[in-house]
Amino acid sequence: MSPDGLALASSLPPGMEEDRVAAMSAAMLALGERIGRELSRGNIERILIEGDKGFAMVSGCTDDAVLIVLTDDKGKLGVLNLEVKQLIARLRPMLTFSKSQVA
Amino acid sequence: MERTSPKQVMRIVATGPVGAGKTTLIKTISEIEVVGTDRAATDDAALLKPNTTVAMDFGRITFGPNMAVHIYGTPGQERFSFMWDILVHRAHALMLLVPLHRPSDFFMASKMLRYLQFHASDVPLVVVGTHSDLPDAWPAAEVLPALGIEPDAGIPIFSVNATQTHEAVQVLIALIEQYQRLTQSHAKAG
C-alpha cells in the first residue's frame, strides 16, 4: 500500500477488507516510525505483531510503498524475516521510478 | 499535612473531514511540538494539501499546575475509521471540525457527527467551523442544519481560522467549561 494507506496490490484471506488493512498498516508504520524516533531507535525497518494465531509484519518498502505480510500460527519468525527481506529486495526496483521514467 | 490535588488530564479529540484543519488547529494550540503522523497524500486529499494524517496527532496544553489538556487529532478519511474508534473511546470532550468553505464536505461531516453521537453520546461536543477567513466560507450558523443538527440541540458552533491562536483557544475554553458543567451536574446528581 502507499504510505497514506491506499492499497496497491493484495492477496488476503477471505473476509479481510483490503482498504482497511492498507489503512491500518500505514497507520501502524507511521506511528511506529514516530515512536522509534521519540525513543531514539534509528530508522524503523519493521513493525511486528505477534498473536497466538500468527504474525503480522509491516515494513517500509520504498518511499512510496509499504508492505504487510501475514502468517498463520505455523509461521517461523526467522523464515518470515528472511522472506520479507528478499521480497523487498525484489519489489524495490519495480516500485522505484526515476524522474525521467515518470516524465 | 496538606493534600495536593492530583493532576487532572482532560482528553479532547478533534475529528472532521479531510482538510478541515485538525492538524493545523492542534499545532496552533499545543505548547509542545506536535506528535504527528503525516504522510504524502495520494488520494483526493492531495488536491487540497500535500500531506495527510494517517494515524493521529497529539498536542498538549497546560492550565496552571493541576490541569493538562491532551488533544488528539484523527485522520479524516473514512478508511481510517478504526482510529476514530480508538481515540473517541477515551475522550472527555469532542470537536467536530467542518470546513466552512467546502459544502461538499458537509455530508461527510454529518456522517462523522452521527458516528460520534452514537459512540460517545454522553461526551460534550462542539462543532468548529474552520477556514472562516476565506471569502466563500458559509456563516457557521447556517452549517448546523446542513449537518442535520436541530437548532435546540444545544450543540455550540464556532467559526474559526485554525491558524489563529486566540480563536482556537476560545473553542478549547468553551469545551472545557462545557465538560466541567457536565461533570459537576453529574456529581450533584450522583
Sorting pLDDT into bands at 50, 70 and 90, what band is B190? low
Condensed to tens digits (0 to 9), the pLDDT of residues B45-60 reads 999 999 999 999 999 9
Q: Give the count of beta carbons closer than 10 Å to the beta carbon of residue B2.
A: 3
ipTM of the complex model: 0.84
Enumerate the residues of chain A whose CB falls inside 8 A of the CB of residue B76: none
CA distance B44 to chain A (A): 11
Phi (first) and psi of residue A43, to 5 degrees: -70, 135
**A95: pLDDT strictly greater than 90:** no
- pLDDT band of A23, cuts 50, 70, 90: very high
Which tens digit of pLDDT belongs to each residue from B48-94? Answer: 999 999 999 999 999 888 889 999 999 999 999 999 999 999 999 99
User: Comparing B141 with B105, which gets the higher pLDDT?
Assistant: B105
pLDDT at B63: 87
Q: In this structure, is the dihedral angle defined by the CA atoms of residues A58, A61, A64 and A69, taken in order, positive or negative?
A: negative
C-beta separation of A22 from A28 below 8 A:
no
Residue A86 has pLDDT above 90, yes or no: yes
Most A CBs within 10 A among B23, B33, B35, B37, hence the mutation to make, goes to: B37
Q: What's the pLDDT tens digit per position in B156-189? A: 999 999 999 999 999 999 999 999 888 888 888 7
Within 8 A of B52 by CB-CB distance, chain A residues are: 4
One-letter identity of residue A41: R
Name the closest residue on chain A to residue B36, using Cα atoms: A34
Task: Pick B2 or A76 by higher pLDDT.
Answer: A76
Q: What are B's interface residues with A at a Cβ cutoff of 8 A?
A: 35-37, 39-43, 45, 52, 54-56, 75, 77, 79-80, 82-83
The pLDDT of residue B137 is: 95
- Which chain B residues are Cβ-neighbours of A20 within 8 angstroms? 79, 82
C-alpha A22/C-alpha B38 separation (Å) is 16
Is residue A103 over pLDDT 50? no
Handedness of CA B165, B141, B53, B120 (dihedral sign): positive
Which of A19, A20, A26 lies closest to B54 in CB terms?
A26
Q: Would you call A26 and B39 a contact, using CB atoms and an 8 Å cutoff?
A: yes
Task: Give yes or no for A16 touching B (CB within 8 A).
Answer: no
What's the CA gap between A59 and B188, in Å, rounded? Answer: 52
Taking the CA atoms of residue A92, residue A95, residue A97 and residue A103 in that order, the dihedral angle to the nearest 10 degrees is 170
Paired residues of B93 in beta bridges:
B12
Please give the Cα distance from B113 to B40 (Å, whole number): 27
| Higher pLDDT, residue B61 or A97 | B61
Question: In terms of C-beta density within 10 A (0-12 exposed, 13-18 middle, 19 or more buried), how is residue B89 classed?
Answer: exposed
pLDDT: which is higher, B1 or B117: B117
Comparing alpha-carbon positions, the chain B residue that sits nearest to A27 is: B55
pLDDT for B107 equals 95
Residue B6 has pLDDT above 80, yes or no: no
In this structure, the strands spanning A46-51 and A65-70 are unpaired
Dihedral sign computed on CA atoms, order B43, A12, A58, B27: positive
Stated length of chain A = 103
The answer, for A19 touching chain B at a CB cutoff of 8 Å, is: yes
pLDDT score of A36 more than 70: yes
Phi, psi of A21 (to 5 degrees): -60, -40
The answer to whether the CB atoms of A5 and B54 lie below 8 A apart is yes
pLDDT tens digits for B9-32? Answer: 999 999 999 999 999 999 999 999
